[in-house]
């Protein structure tokens, strides 16, 4: 009788084990095991490993507002497309050229304006910045640019202490001015 009870327990245990295996194996094969999922890779190192599991375990049980990551990516993509379209439209309306002047003392601050077909002084903007090499260091410059005629730009330059450029001052070793001329 005792052997019969042991046989029943063994048969029942075997049956439970077989049922468990047959229900687990199909589930595992359908879940896409072995495929890399970047949403699971929390530290973005390209490997789903124990460090990602530790991060998940630390966040386990927390609550918050769910987000649809796919919708968020599509929204960002749409915003980028809109900005690119705006940029193309602005570039078609505005024409611009960039330039640079540099040199040692006695730099001519009246410069010929880069050629923009059809540009006139009244519809042209100049944006400029510069640096000066002084006897002690290199410092940023305050630069004012004004279109004085359809063919000329006049630059006024000050050092960071408000001292205006003087070609006769030996402290001004050199100046470099970068500018953009924009025809609106």
Query: Tell me: the pLDDT tens digits for 126-136?
Result: 888 888 887 77
Judging by DSSP bridges, how do beta strands 95-103 and 138-149 pair with one another? Answer: unpaired
Distance of alpha carbon 26 from the chain centroid: 44
- For domain 95-183, the CATH class is mainly beta
| DSSP code, position 182 | E
Instruction: Give domain limits for the chain.
Output: 95-183
Q: Are 141 and 99 in contact (CB under 8 A)?
A: no
Q: What is the reported pLDDT for 164?
A: 85
Query: Tell me: the pLDDT tens digits for 145-158?
Result: 887 776 788 888 88
Sequential DSSP letters for 88-139: HHHHHH-EEEEEEEEESSS--SEEEPPP-TT--GGGEEEEEEEEEEESS-EE
Query: Tell me: the pLDDT tens digits for 89-104?
Result: 766 666 777 778 887 6
144 against 4, higher pLDDT: 144
Query: Tell me: the pLDDT tens digits for 16-75?
Result: 667 676 665 554 444 456 788 888 888 889 899 998 888 888 888 889 888 888 888 899
């Amino acid at each position: 009788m005792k052997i019969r009870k042991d046989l029943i327990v063994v048969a029942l245990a075997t049956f439970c084990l077989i049922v468990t295996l047959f229900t687990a194996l199909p589930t595992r094969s359908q879940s896409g095991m072995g495929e890399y999922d970047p949403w699971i890779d929390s530290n973005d190192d390209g490997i789903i490993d124990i460090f990602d599991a530790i991060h998940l375990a630390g966040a386990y049980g927390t609550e918050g507002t769910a987000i649809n990551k796919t919708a968020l990516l599509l929204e960002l993509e749409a915003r980028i497309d809109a900005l690119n379209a705006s940029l193309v439209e602005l570039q078609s309306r505005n024409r611009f050229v960039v330039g640079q002047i540099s040199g040692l003392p006695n730099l001519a601050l009246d410069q010929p304006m880069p050629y923009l077909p059809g540009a006139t002084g009244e519809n042209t903007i100049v944006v400029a910045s510069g640096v000066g090499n002084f006897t002690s260091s290199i410092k940023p410059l305050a630069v004012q640019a004004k279109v004085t005629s359809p063919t000329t730009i006049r630059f006024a330059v000050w050092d960071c202490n408000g001292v205006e450029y003087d070609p006769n001052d030996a402290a001004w070793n050199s100046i470099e001015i970068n500018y953009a001329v924009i025809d609106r």
